């Protein structure tokens, strides 16, 4: 699947005024992954969402199961 447009964020209204975010470039592969990643993380940070892609999250542990397959 190939996308031909870039993501443009809506202007963000702040106490200081309106902030329009720069375009996140189309990811083309290895040739622009670093630029794409930087712009995406900056956009997520403005919205307070960067931890969703930056933080290490431990894998969930499966709950113990009884003999009949039910969760204990």
Measured in whole angstroms, the distance separating CA 1 from the mean position of its chain's CA atoms is: 19
Structural contact between residues 71 and 65, judged by C-beta atoms closer than 8 angstroms: yes
Q: How far apart are CA 10 and CA 40, in angstroms?
A: 14
Q: Could you tell me the residue ranges of all domains in the chain?
A: 1-72
Whether the pLDDT of residue 18 is over 70: the answer is: no
Measured in whole angstroms, the distance separating CA 53 from the mean position of its chain's CA atoms is: 5
User: pTM for the complete prediction?
Assistant: 0.53
Whether the pLDDT of residue 1 is over 50: the answer is: no
For the stretch 28-52, pLDDT in tens is 999 999 999 999 998 888 888 888 8
Within 10 angstroms of residue 59's Cβ, the number of other Cβ atoms is: 5
């Amino acid at each position: 699947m190939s996308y031909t447009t870039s993501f443009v964020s809506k202007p963000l209204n702040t106490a200081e005024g309106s902030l329009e975010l720069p375009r996140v470039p189309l990811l083309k592969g290895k040739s622009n992954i670093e630029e794409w990643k930087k712009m995406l993380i900056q956009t997520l940070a403005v919205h307070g969402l960067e931890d969703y892609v930056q933080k290490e999250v431990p894998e969930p542990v499966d709950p113990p199961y009884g003999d009949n397959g039910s969760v204990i």
